[in-house]
Every structure is written in structure tokens, then in C-alpha cells.
Amino acid sequence: MSTTPLSPARIKAAPKVLLHDHLDGGLRPSTVLELAREIGYKGLPTSDVDELSRWFVADAPGSDLVRYLEGFAHTTAVMQTKDQIERVASETAYDLALDGVVYAEIRFAPELHLERGLSLDEVVEAVLAGFAHGTAQARALGKVIIVRTLISAMRQAHRSAEMAALAVRFRDAGVCGFDIAGPEDGFPPTEHLPAFHLIQRENFHMTIHAGEAFGLPSIWEAVQFCDAERLGHGVRIIDDIERVGDEYRLGRLASYVRDRRIPLEVCPTSNVHTGAAASLAEHPIELLRQLRFRVTLNTDNRLMSGITLSSEFAACSDAFGWTLEDMEWLTLNAAKSSFFQFDQRLALINTVIKPGYAALRDGAI
């Protein structure tokens, strides 16, 4: 098998697929400042864009999920009108396209954007309009991207059935599935069974945040009670894998997840920043990849982690020695795991992703 090295130019040029990225975690720092000034929001820790960029990145020693989540109070504060939300969504699509992302599923929680009188439907419409504008701007520069959205329910707010119905209502307009987010500990997926059952009855798609800050019980409930098609993060599946000598023994849950090819939406840098992993070098993504789980690489929150999908691939390449072939395998995993219709997935794989990597191997870059 070829082992083409990963250079920064190859990483940037390679077609990439992103399945786990939060809209309110991916704003440009400059946009946060500008929107805050427009509405008179005084809560930001600084008015200097460089200082603000550094503040948002929760990578100091001892950082944990609580510190990581502090930034969302500021980003959601400046995403409360139609114009604000459209701008953020447009810039998200544009920035991802310039980073070489060809397909993205971006999630957001509409219930967090109602403070200035918008309805749930108006929030979704603003996001979709922004994505359309950003993709058109990128296309004008020769960068083609498909951006779809997942509607998230905040598990601690108990509006999941309403959010699931909202997702179904917009399924033909660009919403491709449903998700629950927020704190896992104390808010198990089974508290939201009516929402998941609605999604199932409507023949729709779902992914569930599980196995990030909490362990195997969260994954087990998401898979066995809620029928999750993908696991948001899912890295705590490593707790069901035991090393025996030079081999690894999978427990029944880990075996089930691997055998069923349930995709893991892994976000390594974010996991380090939230305390779910001690360091990138110690992150379980490489072992899970070697054990042939359906691993995908994702950003989670680009602002809070100070990353792009390209930089995440570069960091993992440095840590684990990934090659262009490894990057292609992860990208194909993501494309196969997307909530795109089957024929559209095949077209994306066969006309965009595989030719793109073939050109890189042939020395185009």
C-alpha cells in the first residue's frame, strides 16, 4: 500500500468531510467583536481581536468542560437576530469551503437563539439562508461545498420532542437530521425517547452526543435504547477495550459498535481541551482507527479549540504518523456516514473525493 506523506499543502488541497461542528462554536473572533459592538453587548472579556482569539481557546493546563463552555455564552449572545445568524452561517460555509471541506453537516440548537423574539422556524430559516449565501460566495471563487444542518436539542432543557418535530418540518429544506447535545452526566439519552421515536417513525436521521465526558452507559443507552445512527464523540468506547499482551480484547458493547459500523464523530483537540483526553498523543483515535472502528475526524468547535479541519489532520499526522492514505480512509468513512442520500453519497465519493486524492497521489501537489 502506498504511504504518501502528508504535507500542509496536501492536507489543505485534499477534499474533506466534516460531520461534527457546532455553528455557535465556529464564529470568527472578529465577527464576535463586530456583532457585540452593533448590539451594545458588554460581556466580552476583551475588545482586542487577538486577545479574544486567545481567550476563547480553552487550552490552558487544567482546562475542563466547564471552562470550555464559557465561550458559548458570548457567541450565542451575538446570534439573536436574523441578520446575525445569517452572517455567522454564511461565514461558516465560506470558511469551511476555503479549508477544503466539500461536505459538512453543521449542528446548532435553535432554542438558544430566541432571546430577541425570533421563532424557532425563523432561526432555522436564517441558518439555511446563511449557508446558501456562503456556499454561493465560495462557489464564485471555485470552491464547491455542500452544507447541511443538524438540529440539536439541549438535553438539560427538555424540549427535545419539539426540536425533533422542527427538524422533521425542515427536512426538505436542508436539515438532514437530529441531535441532542449538552451535559451527558445526569441527562441520559433515555430521557428523550419521545424525540428519538418521532425521528424513527418519520424515517429520518439522528446522531447523539455520547461517550465524551461520560462513559459506557451513555453510549449503551444511545445505541440500544435510542437507536443512534452515529455517536457524537463516542471516544469513551475505549473503556470497553482491554489490552492483553500485544493484543486488544473488545467488550460486548465495543464489539457491537464496531460490528455494526456505527460511526464515531471523533474530535481529538476538543477532547483534550475538555479534559476527555490527557493529550493528543494519548488520544484513543489512533487505536480506534487501527482496530478499524468507523472513525471520522472532526472539529467540534473551531473557535473554542483554535483549529480548522486541516489543522486537525496536520496535528494527528504529527502525532500518529498519518499518511495521505490514512486521511483518505477517514474522509471516506465520513462520506459513507453522512446523512446524505445514498446516490448522492456515491456521487460525492466517486466524483469528488476519490479523484481528489488520486490527483494528490499522482503528484499534482
Active site residues: 212
Say which amino acid occupies 63: S
Q: How many CB atoms lie within 10 A of CB 121?
A: 12
Contact present, 295 and 316 (Cβ < 8 Å) = no
Helix axes 29-39 and 49-56, enclosed angle (nearest 10): 110
Q: Is 104 left (phi over 0), alpha (psi -120 to 50) or beta?
A: beta
C-beta of residue 257 within 8 angstroms of C-beta of residue 227: no
Determine contact, residues 134/97, Cβ cutoff 8 Å. Answer: yes
Query: What's the rounded Cα separation, in Å, for the pair 176 and 179?
Result: 10
d(CA 344, CA 335): 10
